[in-house]
């Protein structure tokens, strides 16, 4: 008898995972080019520095996803009888801590510069014999850091929903909104050009608070998942409908009086228990075996479920 249950994505989702991996490799290559370019032109602008650090951080979710995607479907064993699905949850937590911590650091750094009233300057350079204000080059670099990122975010967002993968969804959602970071930094640079020294620090502060806000939201969700919170929809953060549908399905069985389902998220899949109050004079063992098979076949996200019999619900 097979002791552990192996996991494999449904055939229709396997191409989705391959496409996501390809997009994440493209994302990393693109972000490396962005960070190199931004570093070369950032000068003394606090907004540019903050945007650059945010772009460096943006690589972490993509890297974490690629690492986790090579581990999550390893066969279960005696050490990990439920498999390696929670590697996605760990990757989500790691990225969230880094994002929140860096956002906090950037906010403090920007506030210090604002309090010190530091006046950043943007000089000029010569290109092909023509004198060009460096601010225009910075703005061009920021446009490059924002526009392709938005495209990548919109490409990954529907794939993240199909896979119910939170670190991928966070990555896509953050990139989708990257234009705000670029726009804030551009406003800061233009402000320097007009002699408004404080515009640069305020733009940096806006970017850092945005990073910190995303980091806090993701950190809260990652901790809740690791504490076995009920499954939630990755987009709306409301109870996932699958659990309710399973409970309705079980209550529809002719041998069941009432039932209560409770599940937890482990990466992309759900593991849980359905407590059942059966009718009298029923073949309990046969019905439980058949019922478990029906629940497991209901949706690929249901990786493991235990059916118990009782008269009072626990949890």
Instruction: Indicate the domain borders of the chain.
Output: 14-226, 241-309
Predicted confidence at residue 4, as pLDDT, reads 53
Q: In CATH, which superfamily holds the domain spanning 241-309?
A: Cation efflux protein, cytoplasmic domain (3.30.70.1350)
- Beta-carbon contacts of residue 260 (< 8 Å; ≥ 6 apart): 247, 274, 275, 313
Cα atoms in the Cβ-side hemisphere of radius 13 Å centred on 208: 23
Q: Which residues pair with 266 in a beta bridge?
A: 269
CA 115 from centre of chain: 34
3-state secondary structure of 306: strand
Predicted confidence at residue 43, as pLDDT, reads 80
Location of structure tokens 């002791």: 3
- What are the φ/ψ torsions at residue 264 (nearest 5 degrees)? -130, 160
3-state secondary structure of 126: strand
Q: How far apart are CA 163 and CA 301, in angstroms?
A: 9
Which pair of tokens denotes residue 59?
């690589």
Predicted confidence at residue 146, as pLDDT, reads 86
**Which of 33, 91, 97 lies closest to 62, judged by CA?**
91
CA 303 from centre of chain: 21
Q: Which residues of the chain have pLDDT under 50?
A: 1-2
Q: Burial letters for 216-251: b for 16+ Cβ neighbours within 10 Å, e otherwise?
A: eebbebbeebbeeebbbebeeeeebebbeebbebbe
Which pair of tokens denotes residue 244?
């309710």
Predicted confidence at residue 315, as pLDDT, reads 53
- Beta-carbon contacts of residue 299 (< 8 Å; ≥ 6 apart): 242
Q: Provide the edge-to-edge strand list for the sheet that holds 269-278.
A: 256-266, 269-278, 302-309
- Beta-carbon contacts of residue 153 (< 8 Å; ≥ 6 apart): 171, 172, 173, 174, 175, 176, 177, 178
Q: Which residues pair with 133 in a beta bridge?
A: 124
Predicted confidence at residue 29, as pLDDT, reads 95
Q: How far apart are CA 260 and CA 314, in angstroms?
A: 9
pTM of the model: 0.85
Q: Which CATH number fits domain 14-226: 1.20.1510.10, 1.10.10.10, 1.20.120.1770, 1.20.950.20?
A: 1.20.1510.10
Which pair of tokens denotes residue 106?
């950037």
- Beta-carbon contacts of residue 128 (< 8 Å; ≥ 6 apart): none
Predicted confidence at residue 263, as pLDDT, reads 93
- Does 14-226 match 241-309 in CATH topology? no
Q: What is the pLDDT of residues 255-288, one digit of tens each?
A: 999 999 999 998 889 999 999 998 877 788 899 9
């Amino acid at each position: 008898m097979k002791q552990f249950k192996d996991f494999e994505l449904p055939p229709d989702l396997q191409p989705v995972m391959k496409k996501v991996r390809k997009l994440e490799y493209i994302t990393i290559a693109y972000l490396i080019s962005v960070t190199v370019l931004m570093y070369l032109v950032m000068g003394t602008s606090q907004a540019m520095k903050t945007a650059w650090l945010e772009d460096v951080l943006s690589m972490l979710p993509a890297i974490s996803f690629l690492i986790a995607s090579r581990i999550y479907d390893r066969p279960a064993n005696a050490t990990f009888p439920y498999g390696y699905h929670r590697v996605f949850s760990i990757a989500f937590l790691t990225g969230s801590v880094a994002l929140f911590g860096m956002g906090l650091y950037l906010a403090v750094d920007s506030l210090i510069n604002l309090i010190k009233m530091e006046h950043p300057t943007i000089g000029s350079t010569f290109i092909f014999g023509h004198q060009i204000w460096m601010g225009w080059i910075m703005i061009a670099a920021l446009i490059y850091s924002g526009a392709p990122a938005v495209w990548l975010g919109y490409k990954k967002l529907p794939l993240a929903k199909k896979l119910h993968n939170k670190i991928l969804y966070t990555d896509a959602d953050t990139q989708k909104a990257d234009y705000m970071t670029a726009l804030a930094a551009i406003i800061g640079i233009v402000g320097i050009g007009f002699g408004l020294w404080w515009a640069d620090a305020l733009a940096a502060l806006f970017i850092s608070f945005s990073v910190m806000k995303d980091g806090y939201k993701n950190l809260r969700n990652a901790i809740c998942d690791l504490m076995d919170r009920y499954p939630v929809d990755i987009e709306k953060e409301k109870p996932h409908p699958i659990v309710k549908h399973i409970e309705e399905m079980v209550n529809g069985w002719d041998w069941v009086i009432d039932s209560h389902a409770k599940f937890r998220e482990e990466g992309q899949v759900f593991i849980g228990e359905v407590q059942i109050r059966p009718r009298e004079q029923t073949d309990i063992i046969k019905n439980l075996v058949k019922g478990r098979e029906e629940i497991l076949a209901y949706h690929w996200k249901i990786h493991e479920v235990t059916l118990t019999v009782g008269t009072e619900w626990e949890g």
